[in-house]
Structure 1
Amino acid sequence: MLVIWWLWPLLAVCASDPFQLKAKEIMKTTPVIDGHNDLPWQLLTLFNNKLNDSKANLTTLMETHTNIPKLQDGFVGGQFWSAYMPCDTQNKDAVRRILEQIDVIHRMCQLYPETFLCVTNSSGIRQAFSEGKVASLIGVEGGHLIDSSLGVLRTLYHLGMRYLTLTHNCNTPWADNWMVDTGDDKAESQGLSVFGKRVLKEMNRLGVMIDLSHVSVATMKDALQYSKAPVIFSHSSAYNICPSKRNVPDDVLQLVNKTRSLVMVNFYSKFVSCSKDATLSQVADHLDHIKKVAGAGAVGLGGDYDGVTELPKGLEDVSKYPDLIAELLRRNWTDTEVRGVLADNLLRVFFDVEQASNSMEIPEEEPIPLGELEGSCRTHYGYSQAPSIHLQMGALLASLTPLLFSLHLL
């Protein structure tokens, strides 16, 4: 019995998965930076943003894919929290509602300072790593949430937004969304409009990453051509593996390679296997394909946790990241490539975007043409100067001319 007892630890080591052990060792020093998590949306829909509700406690919350223990088990060291509002807020209360969601993310950091550190740059992510906290960043999901306003874009930047997804599942007045490619929406801008390119230029100037998840292929190509900094797909997968129009086709992946951009793979089953059922291995297939076409430096992770209903077997919540990394190691990904997928590729892109920014440049000020805006409740302040007395008198005279002629006074 003594001999058997002594052998148990050795047998346990032999029975354990060496790839799993190696994955966790790597992740201790290079934790996951995930590109897209919709926990703030769940906090709205479940608790109306009442974070002090005992049921909303992120240490014990069980209804979601994400909570603090799961983040710790998954070695998540950086998270872009999605500040999101659906397309039905467009031309209504989109700006108010997105401000509320950004507020929720800031309050998460304030309520759990031992876990979350709200940061706004690549050096802040590294600081959070060193402190053993989750670097918490804000990604605004949907260009409709800036309400076609460069001023709103700049304001969201000042509040911490560090990527903007150019569209969600609807066109904006200046960019076409992915449903144009399915035929469910009509192309309006044929990619990016003139104002859309102005939005890109201002994002480059500020240092906001351009996110191309949810956009049409034409919009992808326009953005990859006109951006002077690398772009990201915060939660998209490979079209070659699953031909969903939400995924990235190979010709675009080649542009991703050329521009040193990044595709952060989505775990939603319908984008992984094109069905409601998928597996961890199929997610790894997407990573393999993006690596093959765009290079190992173009691959990242954007799980879309708490924003989707079906997830692959083996990736049911944020605690499962070590299992995916173990699978990559099993497929002969090198330590350097794995560290790239985990964090280094995103850190490189983020730093490049910061380097390309220039606060000394003159901000973009030309507003979107009034005729391109939608919505019946808009005011028109600033689009035309108040007419002078001289112009008013001229207009009055012009309107009276027919009458004066009829009275033979002219």
Structure 2
Amino acid sequence: MMTAAFTALAGVASAQEAPPPTQEPAAEAPAPAPPVEDFSRARRLLERTPLIDGHNDLPWALRQKHGNDPYAVDLTTDLDASTDLHTDIPRLRAGGIGGQFWSVYVPAALTPTEAARETFEQIDTVKRMVAAYPDVFELATTAEDIERIHRSGKIASLMGMEGGYSIDDSLGLLREFYDAGARYMTLTHSKTTTWADSATDAPKWGGLNPFGEQVVREMNRLGMMVDLSHVSEETMLDAMRVSDAPVIFSHSSARGVTDHPRNVPDAVLRMMPEDGGVVMVTFVPGFISEEVRAWSAAQAAEDARLKSLNPGNPTAVTEGMAAWTAAHPIPHAGVADVVAHIQHVREVAGIDHVGLGGDFDGVTALPDGVDGVDAYPRILTALMEAGWSEADIRKLVGENILRVMRAVEATAARKADERPSLAVLAVEGAPE
């Protein structure tokens, strides 16, 4: 400790010291410009080969956010900054989309009768959207349609049903949906149906029950692709056993990379060469990043804990979750995660059995660098930098799903003389 006298002398000496000469601060070096991304090679490739995305929920986003009115929002404008949509025409063009399966999803919480009605309404939404932009979109139902429409410079627009509850346990309704233009049906969504187990609900049938098998057979007869995204592993195995045509996964990733029940197990991936089908890799962060998946599971557990501690007090739950989220920021997925899943499906199932199904406008978050449908050239460029050839990329973006569509169409042609199935659901204890 300094004495008082020493402190005083030090203060005087300090006061008498000449101030240091004023110096101009050194000029800061300009920040380096971000590297310019060159997607030209990918874009040239997509001019020749249609990129066919397996699943886009824009029709549901139009229903939820714009009154089910395609005219309520100008899709010819880049909507990235003005709305929370992932899809518009400028970004579809920038992404090189040549064919798009528009999902005619409706929620699993609806009664089957409500789901059937609203699925027809969603089909009508797609048709009205296509009619609103006739120079951009054209309806397609076959592989040949897609290739013809792509050559014309338009975007081939197809429809896929998401959730077997939409047929209200009626093969007659299934046929009507096919006639209306639906070309795949996801057998379940988030809930187990009266004839098929979901990946994210308690199992009831051990896969497909007998009526579920009849649904698959009738889809084969019609020429409607059997989509196994959202279903349990047992349902996957049953459907692949029963189906006479290749199956698809319209928007699923690899469980061997991220252990989420919505992803495809390696055991099923290894069956794809014999089946002939295709797994269309999706970009949902919780499906492609183990860190995001673990965070989401922890968040759900905390929400359940707070609700059990605060029954009838939603404010306490909301405040508690806000505090938890602030203390546990959500991790981010990125392009590298997307690439890892595409690579894994290729390595396990083979190059002939991988495709793309982004699930744009069906999720609240996307990986960094994959902000909308214009992200495909960035993903394809990353794959080419990892060693993928242009022939590989052509299979990924379109050739594989076109081959599956042709195989499904050929199966229907072989079954043209078969009569429509009259099978009905006859199961005791079916879930309501």
- The interval holding the TM-score normalised by the smaller chain is 0.7 to 0.9
| Cα distance, 1:334 vs structure 2 | 1.3
Partner residue in 2 for 1:11: none
Give the 3-state SS of the residue equivalent to 2:191 in structure 1: coil
Q: Report the equivalent of 1:268.
A: 284
Deviation digits for residues 356-401 of structure 1 (CA, Å, limit 9, x no counterpart) = 11222111112111746555xxxxxxxxxxxxxxxxxxxxxxxxxx
Equivalent of 2:417, from 346, 350, 360? 360
Check whether the contact 2:159–2:181 (CA below 8 A) recurs between aligned residues.
yes
Distance 1:292 1:95, change over 3 A: same
The corresponding residue for 1:10 is none
Who is 1:22 aligned against?
41
- 1:4 corresponds in structure 2 to none
Does 2:389 correspond to 1:334?
Answer: yes
Equivalence for 1:205: 221
TM-score by length of 2: 0.80
Aligned equivalent of 1:223, options 230, 236, 239? 239
Question: What is the CA distance between 1:41 and its match in structure 2?
Answer: 0.4
State the aligned residue count. Answer: 353
2:112 and 2:167 in contact (8 A); partners too: no
Contact 1:291 1:299 in 2 (8 A): yes
Residue 298 of structure 1 aligns with an amino acid whose one-letter code is: H
Letter in 2 for 1:58: L
Distance in structure 2 (CA, Å) of the matches to 1:374 and 1:253: 30
Residue 317 (structure 1) aligns with? 372
CA shift, 1:155, in A, is 0.2
The letter for the 2-side match of 1:137 is: L
SS state of the match for residue 102, structure 2? strand
SS of the counterpart of 2:391?
Answer: helix
- The Cα shift of 1:73 comes to 0.5
Q: Distance in 2 between matches of 1:103 and 1:372?
A: 34
**Taking every aligned residue pair, what percent have the same amino acid on both sides?**
44
Q: Which residue of 2 aligns with 1:244?
A: 260
Structure 2 match to 1:395: none
**1:300 & 1:333 partners in 2: Cα distance?**
14
Partner residue of 2:125? 104
Residue 248 of structure 2 corresponds to 232
- Within 5 A, what are the aligned runs for 1:169-180? 169-179=190-200
Alignment correspondent of 2:159? 138
Q: Which residue number in structure 2 is paired with residue 59 of structure 1?
A: 76
For 2:270, what is the secondary structure of its paired residue?
Answer: helix
Q: Residue 84 of structure 1 aligns to a residue in which SS?
A: coil
Measured after TM superposition, the shift of residue 21 of structure 1 is 2.2
Superposed CA deviations along residues 244-294 of structure 1, whole A, max 9, x for unmatched, are 010001000011122111000010100010305101011001011100000
- Cα deviation, 1:337-372, whole Å, max 9, x if unaligned, reads 100111100100000000011222111112111746
Cα distance between partner residues in 2 of 1:26 and 1:218: 38
Does structure 2 conserve the Cα–Cα contact (< 8 Å) formed by 1:32 and 1:342? Answer: yes
After alignment, is 251-260 or 211-220 more displaced?
Answer: 251-260
Gaps of 5+ in 1: 1-14, 180-184, 376-410
The match for 1:282 is: 337
1:293 correspondence with 2:314? no
* Equivalent AA in structure 2 for residue 254 of structure 1: R
CA-CA distance at 1:22 after TM superposition: 1.4
What is the alpha-carbon distance in structure 1 between the residues aligned to residue 396 and residue 269 of structure 2?
Answer: 16
- 2 CA distance for matches of 1:166 and 1:337? 29
1:93 is paired with a residue whose SS is: helix
| Displacement after TM superposition at 1:160 (Å) | 0.2
- The answer to whether the 8 Å contact 1:77/1:129 transfers is yes
SS, match of residue 207 in structure 2 = coil
Give 1:306's match in structure 2, choosing from 361, 364, 367: 361
Q: Which residue, out of 134, 155, 168, partners 2:176?
A: 155
Over aligned residues, Cα RMSD in angstroms? 1.4
Query: Which residue in the other structure is 2:149 paired with?
Result: 128
Please say if 1:43 is aligned against 2:58: no
Residue type at the aligned position of 2:333: A
Amino acid at match of 1:366: A
Partner of 1:402: none
Letter in 2 for 1:220: M
Q: Which whole-Å CA distance do the structure 2 matches of 1:38 and 1:76 have between them?
A: 15
d(CA) in 1 for partners of 2:209 and 2:243?
Answer: 14
- Helix, strand or coil at the partner of 2:230: coil
- Equivalent residues of 1:277, 1:310 under 8 A apart: no
- TM-score scaled by length of structure 1: 0.84
Distance in 2, Cα, partners of 1:291 & 1:192: 28
Distance 2:262 2:193 in 1: 17
The one-letter code of the counterpart of 2:252 is S
1:82 is the counterpart of 2:98: no
SS at match of 2:71: coil
**Is the Cα contact below 8 Å between 1:173 and 1:372 reproduced in 2?**
no
- Asked if the contact 1:91/1:374 (under 8 Å) is kept, the reply is no
Structure-1 separation of matches of 2:71 and 2:225: 32
Alignment partner, residue 31 of structure 1: 50
Q: 1:16 Cα shift? A: 5.6
Structure 2 CA distance for partners of 1:294 and 1:330, relative to 1, 3 Å: same
Q: AA paired with 1:195?
A: F
1:93 aligns with 2:109: no
**Aligned partners of 1:206, 1:90: CA distance in 2, in Å?**
25
- Distance apart, 1:90 and its partner CA: 2.8
